[in-house]
């Protein structure tokens, strides 16, 4: 099967995405609902296909605008804001791995009750230094309700948390573990614990921290100096879970199924299960959900003998994420993920074709094309969000990304073997440890180069001007 564009489908899903995003500018619930009714009536009146297609897109835009407003109202609703300044006993479920800082332990949680009153609201927990609660733990806490911190050093924690539905902080004085959550959350906790325990089987220190970051997207075990080198080299994304890793999990599951003698149908089902389990283990972040939905749609298209359209898969993923949280349009992970993938679709093939006349292996040419596309597309986002742009991202990723892809595969294989063959798992983990040491060395080398990273507006403007002049010169050469 080949990728075939389906413009009507793109227009319809694009209209839905536009409406969901517009909810961030205004929330005219009644107007949006009335508009959808009017557009629906107009669709009945017109009889030309282009007009109906346009009106259908407008209808989805109006419906998305209405729904986006409802979701933002729900995200902004917080019964606990009225309790700010009060102290009391609460029952909280820890929903993300706690992170230990210099002054305490922080963890995302869901407040089940406060002073025996049922709440059901996401909160941020601030606990004293010492033991950390387990992921998925149900805690009985004595805490004071406070507002999140405001803008500081260029980061507004209060706004960032509000866009994720968190409006208050519980400063915990004491806590006791009551039990563990069950259901799908409990399954996710067990999967996360298994990967955290066995993917770096027998490793310790920096090597274990790098493997944990690659597999689970948890880079809190790395020292600040190394993290800065990863950022300066443009390799910081390998420490997060992105589309590359979700695709690698799906591909590895298919390959393993084929190796065990399964047919294509069974292999696609195994891939769906593997991607679903991986998403549960690492958490439903925008980049992860985008890649998981795209992989699932590709597999479902094959299973149902339908044509596959990568642009449609990208738009459907965007619509699903924005329907859940329209605030995601402001999220750096959302912006970086979708900008990079769109650029891979458009820019990467052109760069790869330009390298065909040079003595560059095809695989390396494709990797250069993808790295160039991602670097160009994400540079404005990283500057807007973090005020920095890496100038060595292409060569750094050409070397580092293949290593990361291999490390992820070895780490997952290690986790599978650890319960049944510990010596073999330990040997594989040592191999991965050597790769982790190389990756850290490469990040330090590439990120430590002079002018590896731009952090000033003047330097960014100069670099952008150079890129524009080079692009114009290249265009003039092609015209002549």
Confidence of residue 188 (pLDDT cuts 50, 70, 90): very high
* pLDDT (tens digit per residue) in 191-226: 999 999 999 998 999 999 999 999 998 888 888 899
- pTM recorded for the entire structure: 0.84
Q: Give me 147's structure tokens.
A: 């507002």
Confidence of residue 466 (pLDDT cuts 50, 70, 90): low
Confidence of residue 2 (pLDDT cuts 50, 70, 90): very low
Averaged pLDDT for residues 426-454 = 92
Q: What angle do CA 260, 262, 268 make, to 5 degrees?
A: 120
Least confident of 47-51, 116-120, 425-429: 47-51
Helix, strand or coil, per DSSP, at residue 167: coil
Q: What angle do CA 443, 471, 337 make, to 5 degrees?
A: 45
Question: Across all residues in the chain, what is the average pLDDT?
Answer: 84
* Whether the predicted pLDDT of 307 surpasses 90: no
Q: What are phi and psi of 79, to 5 degrees?
A: -60, -25
* Whether the predicted pLDDT of 73 surpasses 70: yes
* pLDDT (tens digit per residue) in 354-398: 887 777 788 888 888 888 888 888 888 888 887 788 888 889 999
Question: In the chain, what are the helix, strand and coil shares in percent, each to the nearest 5?
Answer: 65, 15, 20
What is the Cα–Cα distance from 161 to 172, expressed in whole angstroms? 18
* pLDDT (tens digit per residue) in 156-184: 889 999 999 999 999 999 999 999 998 99
Q: What angle do CA 121, 127, 132 make, to 5 degrees?
A: 100
Confidence of residue 346 (pLDDT cuts 50, 70, 90): confident
Please tell me the predicted confidence (pLDDT) of residue 1. Answer: 38
* pLDDT (tens digit per residue) in 16-37: 999 999 999 988 777 666 666 6
What is the Cα–Cα distance from 234 to 452, expressed in whole angstroms? 9
Please tell me the predicted confidence (pLDDT) of residue 8. Answer: 74
* Whether the predicted pLDDT of 259 surpasses 60: yes
């Amino acid at each position: 099967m080949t990728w075939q564009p389906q413009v009507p489908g793109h227009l319809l899903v694009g209209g839905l995405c536009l409406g969901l995003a517009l909810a961030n500018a205004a929330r005219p619930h009644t107007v949006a609902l009335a508009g959808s009714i009017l557009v629906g009536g107009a669709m009945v009146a017109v009889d030309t296909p282009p007009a109906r297609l346009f009106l259908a897109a407008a209808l989805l835009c109006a419906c998305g605008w209405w729904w986006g407003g409802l979701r933002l109202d729900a995200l902004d609703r917080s019964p606990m804001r009225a309790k700010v300044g009060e102290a009391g006993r609460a029952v909280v479920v820890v929903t993300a791995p706690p992170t230990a800082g210099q002054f305490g332990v922080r963890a995302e949680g869901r407040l089940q009750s406060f002073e025996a009153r049922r709440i059901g609201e996401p909160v941020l927990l601030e606990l004293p230094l010492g033991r950390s609660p387990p992921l998925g733990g149900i805690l009985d806490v004595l805490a004071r309700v406070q507002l999140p911190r405001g803008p500081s050093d260029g980061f507004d924690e209060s706004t960032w948390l509000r866009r994720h539905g968190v409006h208050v902080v519980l400063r915990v004085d004491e806590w006791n573990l009551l039990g563990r959550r069950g259901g799908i959350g409990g399954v996710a906790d067990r999967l996360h614990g298994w990967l955290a325990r066995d993917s770096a089987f027998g490793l310790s220190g920096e090597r274990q921290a790098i493997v944990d970051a690659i597999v689970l997207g948890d880079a809190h075990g790395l020292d600040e100096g190394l993290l800065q080198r990863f950022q300066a080299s443009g390799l910081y994304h390998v420490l997060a879970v992105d589309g590359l890793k979700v695709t690698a999990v799906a591909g590895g599951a298919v390959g393993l199924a084929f190796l065990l003698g399964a047919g294509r149908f069974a292999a696609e089902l195994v891939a769906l299960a593997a991607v679903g389990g991986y998403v549960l283990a690492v958490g439903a972040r925008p980049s992860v959900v985008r890649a998981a939905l795209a992989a699932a749609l590709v597999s479902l298209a094959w299973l149902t003998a339908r044509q596959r359209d990568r642009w449609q898969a990208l738009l459907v993923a965007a619509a699903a994420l924005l329907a859940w949280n329209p605030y995601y349009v402001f999220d750096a992970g959302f912006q970086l993920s979708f900008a990079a993938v769109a650029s891979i679709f458009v820019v990467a093939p052109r760069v790869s074709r330009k390298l065909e006349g040079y003595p560059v292996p095809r695989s390396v040419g494709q990797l250069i094309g993808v790295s160039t596309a991602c670097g160009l597309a994400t540079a404005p986002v990283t500057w807007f969000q973090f005020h920095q742009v890496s100038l060595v991202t292409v060569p750094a990723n050409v070397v580092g990304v293949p290593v990361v892809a291999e490390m992820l595969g070895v780490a997952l294989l290690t986790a599978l073997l650890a319960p049944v063959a510990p010596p073999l798992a330990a040997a594989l983990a040592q191999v991965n440890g050597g790769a982790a040491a190389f990756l850290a060395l490469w990040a330090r080398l590439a990120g430590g180069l002079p002018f590896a990273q731009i952090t000033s507006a003047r330097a960014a403007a100069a670099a952008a001007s150079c890129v524009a002049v080079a692009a114009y010169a290249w265009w003039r050469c092609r015209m002549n």
